[in-house]
Amino acid sequence: MFSSKPFLIAGPCSAESHEQMLTIANAFKDNDYVNMIRAGVWKPRSKPGHFEGKGQEALEWLQEVKKVSGKKVCTEVATPEQIELALRYDIDAFWIGARSTVNPFTVQEIADALKGTDKAILIKNPINPDVELWAGAIERIQRSGTKDIACIHRGFSSYDQSSKFRNKPNWAIPIEIKRRYPNIPIYCDVSHICGKRNLLADVAQRALDLDLDGLMIETHPNPDAALSDAKQQITPDRLLELVENLTLRKGESNDTANAQIEHLRQVMDSVDAEIVDLLAKRKNIGVELGDIKIKNNMPIYQPERWREIVESRTEWALKEFDAELIRKIFELVHEDSIQRQMEQMTPKEKS
């Protein structure tokens, strides 16, 4: 089922009405880019009192979407009872959500319920950045006898309120999963990573540049009126425009040295972007430190702290790097922090 590359899964966060789902079915009927239509049927929210899905009624709509569009359909499942009901409506594929993947007991219950079925399973990463937890979910589903498996990278929760992403991509983790399970495709749920429409195109391109196998993009006839995740959904027309503007890698060149080099460069670019983000975060912490020092009439440069930085950082890096290299790097970072704190202390001239 997941042989196409790039594989595109699109559809609303939630199946909200019969009319909404028929509109999506007709919009994607002649869209050659879309391989599968998604919609959440059961939508338990972080807090009660919000729209939580239409359940069995929405499964009937998905069944009709399948007939009208000619596309495969998928929905999220979290319990054996949900799997049993979805099987009754011949839903083609199920995905295990991030809140389920984080719990091995839940994953095992799902794996047991899947035994003897031939349905495709998509496994989202857990909400926290844990490679082993994701790998454990994959292997539990494999042991159920399920052959048609794919993974979905949807980013990771973070307490960092300054991040521009809803869920940080942390690309190194899906790259590691791809290395461990080369025969399992990985798709990028750009909607849940971004949380905002204006970020979707850049993240989708990054995912393809890193040689992920496809995308999941939430699509709604009227995104602003969506009952869940309104800010990250786009219209079918906007989806078409986004996909047509993506640069696709040529799969036939993957075995050549140049393709391998380009892939590693893309991975390196992603890691460098994370380094820059971390340096920016460190810079902001330095500014906060400067404020405290100024308010308490404390010196900006503290030799004891600098010695601690040099000793600890070089010790952390001994297995991978030369101590002198690490010292030089942190010398530059520390000097920049000191300079910024000095600028904070110097009163700004009135213009």
5-15: per-residue pLDDT in tens? Answer: 899 999 999 99
The confidence score (pLDDT) of residue 349 equals: 43
Phi-psi region of 317 (alpha: psi -120 to 50; beta: other; left: phi over 0): alpha
Query: What one-letter code names the amino acid at 203?
Result: V
Q: Is the pLDDT of residue 228 over 50?
A: yes
For tokens 């460190």, name the residue. 282
Q: Using one digit for the tens of pLDDT, what is the confidence trace for 31-60?
A: 999 999 999 999 876 777 778 889 999 999
- Gap between the Cα atoms of 49 and 268, Å rounded: 44
Tell me where in the chain the CATH 3.20.20.70 domain(s) lie.
Answer: 7-249
Backbone angles phi, psi at 129, to 5 degrees: -75, 80
pLDDT band at residue 250 under the 50/70/90 scheme? low
pLDDT band at residue 350 under the 50/70/90 scheme? very low
- Gap between the Cα atoms of 35 and 311, Å rounded: 54
Query: What one-letter code names the amino acid at 159?
Result: Y
Instruction: State pTM to two decimals.
Output: 0.74
Tell me where in the chain the CATH 1.20.59.10 domain(s) lie.
Answer: 257-345
- What CATH topology corresponds to 257-345? Chorismate Mutase Domain, subunit A (1.20.59)
- What CATH topology corresponds to 7-249? TIM Barrel (3.20.20)
- Gap between the Cα atoms of 218 and 306, Å rounded: 48
